[in-house]
């Protein structure tokens, strides 16, 4: 039996805006197993980033986590609900046991400090080194492990002295500096060109093996999912509609939305295809559709789909779908 490292239950996040309450994610539940790469996929605005940020309470005003549990299974066997931790406790976990790599390396790095300093600081904050000076020494090894050439000199560079791909390697270096148990990569390659994207994904895979980490990978690129993930959760308009192994999802997609996604990508192994070609648009999440949120776009929708929210049901071993057709 795979052992869960995270169990997410009924995670719900709302944004209280002037226009109304944006129901960004609603009762999202899934497990992530220790050591796997778990992908969250879906069109833009479906709630991937909000879900991943909510795992460690990284939701800023006007957003609020209104419901849910995120059970984190530590290596010593204890289980904590990350949503019940206070600010200081969650900050101790964030960046240390659970680290993020965000999409835009420009926004993730401070232009005023050298990359060595920034890696050193990430370690010092969590008590992994006694001083920045010691941290900068270790930063050389970290730059080496993210395959930056000439790390002894690169450590003294400012972000603007590095290419986009190199900057993203530095961001990954900061992410892994404290040897996290879970690495959450939110569109880590979107801002990069295609060849560099492949290198960065390779790097994440290598680091995952080396540090025995668990990876949560957020992407709208199904080619990336096919190549790097073990399991996949498909999101639509703030809900998870299907979860399964990569093989189950690609060979036997069950939800009409998942089928549409796969059809919208002529060849799932093509890296550059994106998921934008399903007819209709993602609904407004202030007044989401009743029942199944996909029903207005679904070719198979019936009466019940308008009335009743479908729950996730297990159809085959580990393959879940939330759809009234099943």
Ligand X SMILES: Nc1ncnc2c1ncn2[C@@H]1O[C@H](COP(=O)(O)OP(=O)(O)OP(=O)(O)O)[C@@H](O)[C@H]1O
Query: What is the contact surface with ligand X in residues (CB under 6 A)?
Result: 15, 17, 22, 24, 42, 44-50, 62-63, 220, 285
- The binder of 280, among Ni ion, ligand X, none, by C-beta within 5 to 8 A per type, is none
Which residue lies nearer to Ni ion by CB, 49 or 157? 49
Shortest distance in whole angstroms from residue 62 CB to ligand X? 6
Closer CB to ligand X, 43 or 124, in the complex: 43
CB of 153 to ligand X, least distance (A): 35
Nearest to 80 by CA among 63, 98, 65: 98
| Shortest reach from residue 120's CB to ligand X, in Å | 30
Nearer to ligand X, 205 or 284 (CB): 284
In this structure, what token pair is assigned to residue 220?
A: 């709208």
Residue 258 contact among ligand X, Ni ion, none, beta carbon within 5 to 8 Å by kind: none
State the first-to-last Cα distance of the chain, in angstroms, to the nearest integer: 26
CB of 172 to Ni ion, least distance (A): 18
Q: Which residues pair with 40 in a beta bridge?
A: 218, 233
By a kind-dependent CB cut-off of 5 to 8 A, residue 94 interacts, out of ligand X, Ni ion, none, with none
Total residues in contact with Ni ion, by rule CB under 5 A: 2
Q: Which partner from the list ligand X, Ni ion, none does 45 bind, CB cut-off 5 to 8 Å by kind?
A: ligand X
Q: Does residue 96 bind Ni ion (CB under 5 A)?
A: no
Can you give 278-291 as a three-state secondary structure string?
A: CCCCCCCCCCCCCC
What is the C-alpha separation between 132 and 177, in angstroms, rounded?
Answer: 13
Under rule CB under 5 A, residue 49 binds Ni ion: yes
> Please, are residues 262 and 28 in contact by the beta-carbon 8 Å criterion?
no
Coil, strand, or helix at residue 186?
A: strand
Smallest distance from ligand X to CB 237, Å? 8
> Which of 25, 298 has the CB closer to Ni ion?
25
Residue 31 to residue 70: CA distance in whole angstroms: 10
- Tell me if 177 sits within 8 A of 122, measured CB to CB: yes
CB-count exposure of residue 28 (10 Å: 0-12, 13-18, 19+): buried
Minimum CB–partner distance for residue 104 and Ni ion (Å): 11
Residue 65 structure tokens: 């986590």
Please report, for residues 223, 249, 272, 282, the alpha-carbon distance to residue 268 in angstroms, rounded to integers and kept in the order given. Answer: 5, 11, 10, 22
Residue 99 binds: one of Ni ion, ligand X, none (C-beta under 5 to 8 A by kind): none
Binding site for Ni ion (CB under 5 A): 48-49
């Amino acid at each position: 039996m795979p052992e869960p490292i995270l169990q997410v239950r009924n995670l719900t996040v709302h944004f209280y805006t002037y226009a109304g309450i944006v129901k960004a994610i609603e009762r999202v539940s899934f497990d992530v197993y220790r050591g796997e790469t778990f992908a969250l996929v879906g069109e833009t605005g479906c709630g991937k980033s909000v879900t991943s940020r909510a795992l460690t309470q990284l939701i800023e005003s006007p957003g609020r986590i209104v419901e849910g549990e995120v059970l984190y299974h530590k290596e010593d066997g204890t289980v904590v609900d990350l949503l019940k931790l206070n600010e200081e406790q969650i900050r101790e976990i964030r960046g240390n046991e659970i680290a993020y790599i965000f999409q835009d390396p420009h926004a993730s790095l401070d232009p005023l400090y050298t990359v060595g300093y920034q890696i050193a600081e990430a370690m010092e904050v969590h008590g992994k080194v006694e001083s920045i000076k010691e941290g900068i020494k270790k930063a050389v090894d970290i730059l080496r492990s993210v395959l930056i050439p000439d790390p002894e000199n690169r450590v003294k560079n400012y972000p603007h002295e590095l290419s986009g791909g190199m900057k993203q390697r530095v961001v990954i270096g900061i992410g892994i500096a404290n040897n996290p148990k879970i690495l959450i990569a939110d569109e880590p390659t979107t801002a990069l060109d295609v060849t560099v994207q492949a290198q960065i994904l390779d790097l994440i895979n290598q680091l995952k093996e080396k540090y025995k980490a668990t990876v949560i990978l957020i992407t709208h690129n199904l080619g990336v999912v096919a190549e790097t993930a073990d399991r996949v959760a498909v999101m639509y308009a703030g809900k998870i509609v299907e979860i399964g192994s990569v093989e189950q999802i690609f060979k036997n997609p069950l939800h009409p939305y998942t089928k549409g996604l796969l059809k919208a990508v002529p060849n799932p192994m093509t890296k550059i295809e994106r998921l934008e070609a399903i007819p209709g648009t993602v609904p407004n999440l202030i007044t989401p559709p009743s029942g199944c949120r996909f029903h207005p776009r679904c070719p198979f929708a019936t009466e019940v789909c308008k009335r009743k929210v479908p729950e996730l049901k297990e159809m085959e071993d580990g393959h879940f779908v939330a759809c009234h057709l099943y």
